[in-house]
Amino acid sequence: MQQDLVHAIKSNPKYHELVSKRRTFAVILAIIMLVIYYGFILIIAFNKEFLSQPLWEGSITTVGIPIGIGVIVSAFILTGIYVFRANSEFDRLTSEIKEEVL
């Protein structure tokens, strides 16, 4: 019985659509996050002077602080984007697959 259910799910075209869309979307978001993070690390490695500049004359806060905060905030934003799409499109496809198979 269990194997029949697994086979029915895996042979459903919507299952393949779900897996493909979810994988593609996750890879795109991961690449974006890696570019943001490693871009920040590369700036730290090769252009410390830029990050160590004060935000304005007499400021203690440097340019690196808001950029670093931006890296952290971007992770939350990308996570929110994934959750939004997972709760709408991916959950809808999952429900359709369950209705067709069961």
Residue 26: band (very low, low, confident or very high) from pLDDT cuts 50, 70, 90: very high
Distance CA(21)–CA(51), nearest Å, equals: 38
**Backbone dihedral region of 43: left (phi > 0), alpha (psi from -120 to 50 degrees) or beta?**
alpha
DSSP-derived letter for residue 56 is S
Asked if the model's pLDDT at residue 6 lies above 90, the reply is: no
Q: Dihedral angle at the C-alpha atoms of 32, 37, 40, 42, nearest 10 degrees?
A: -100
Tell me what the mean pLDDT of segment 49-64 comes to.
Answer: 93
Q: Where are the beta strands (DSSP E) in the chain?
A: none
Asked if the model's pLDDT at residue 49 lies above 70, the reply is: yes
Q: What's the mean pLDDT when you consider all of the chain?
A: 94
Tell me what the mean pLDDT of segment 17-31 comes to.
Answer: 96
Q: Structure pTM?
A: 0.83
* Res 5: pLDDT: 87
Nearest of 73, 64, 71, 60 to residue 45 by alpha carbon: 64
* Res 4: pLDDT: 86
Please report, for the chain, the start and end positions of each structural domain, with discontinuous segments joined by +.
2-101
Distance CA(51)–CA(45), nearest Å, equals: 10
